[in-house]
Structure formats: structure tokens, C-alpha cells
Amino acid sequence: MPTQAPDQGLVLEITPAVAKEIVRLKIATLVDVRQPAELELEGTVEEAECIPLFDLKKLLGHHLTEEEQEILDCDTPTAKDARFFLSMINKHHYQQGNVLLCLCNSGKRSLHAVQLLRSMGYDRAFSIKGGVRAWRDLP
């Protein structure tokens, strides 16, 4: 069953099979929200733009938990970083009309990223259920 936003009935999560098909059709942009250390350990997803969730949260002005701040192993994002992020997302989401598909290891952080993007008006943002592991299990 797809995960829905509380009190809104909006679908936030889609299956890896659906995600792969819309990426194949070139109507989606895959956004990998894993941290750099995870990318080194688990490997990257070729089709994905890499924007770590904790960087995304900071760029959007959200408070990081103590644990998230510990995990975040880079400098504080600058206004230039925020402009780059927003221009990249806008390029894919608005100019090309693409769906934004967020991906992490398990699908939990990507759900949070989708909620952040939806709060900014990116209404075609979805999390991939099961994350990278489920993504890689498909042909």
C-alpha cells in the first residue's frame, strides 16, 4: 500500500518498478539523498543526482538533530549551495516537467525529503519504497 501524507490522502511513495519505468521514460529525475559516506560504501546509482538529505534540510533552513549534525561531515551549506540546489530541482521539476523521485538506503529518509520538497511546492515528488536495495533488486 502506498504511503500517504497525514490528513491529506496524498501518495508520497511509489514502488521501485513504477519508479524505474518513469525514469526509463525520461519523465523523472532520480534524487539520491544518501550521505557521501553511504555512497562510498554502497555505491552510487548511475541515473541519480546526489543531494544528501541533511544538506537539503540545512539548505531549506530546517533544524538538524544532534545525530544528523554528527552524520553531516561537511561545512555548512552556503547561499550559493542553496541557489544551486534550487536551480537544479527547478530545472528538472518545472522546466522539464519531471517527477522528482527521492531515494535512500531503506526509503525512510527519502520520505522525509519528499515531505520537505512537497512543503516547498514540489507536488510531483515521491519516495521510492524500499530504497536503493529494492531499486537494485529489479532488472
- The dihedrals phi and psi of 123, each to the nearest 5 degrees, come to -75, -5
State how far Cα 132 lies from the chain centre.
11
Through-space distance between the first and last CA atoms of the chain, rounded to whole angstroms: 22
pLDDT, tens digit only, all 139 positions of the chain: 455 554 456 889 999 999 999 999 999 989 888 877 788 888 899 888 887 776 666 666 777 677 666 555 444 555 555 666 667 676 766 656 789 999 998 888 888 888 888 888 888 899 999 999 899 988 7
Q: How far apart are CA 30 and CA 92, in angstroms?
A: 10
Going by DSSP bridges, is the β-strand pair 28-32/48-50 parallel, antiparallel, or unpaired? parallel
Question: Whole-structure pTM over 0.75, yes or no?
Answer: no
Q: Which one of 3.50.50.60, 3.40.250.10, 3.90.1300.10, 3.30.30.60 gives the CATH number of domain 13-137?
A: 3.40.250.10
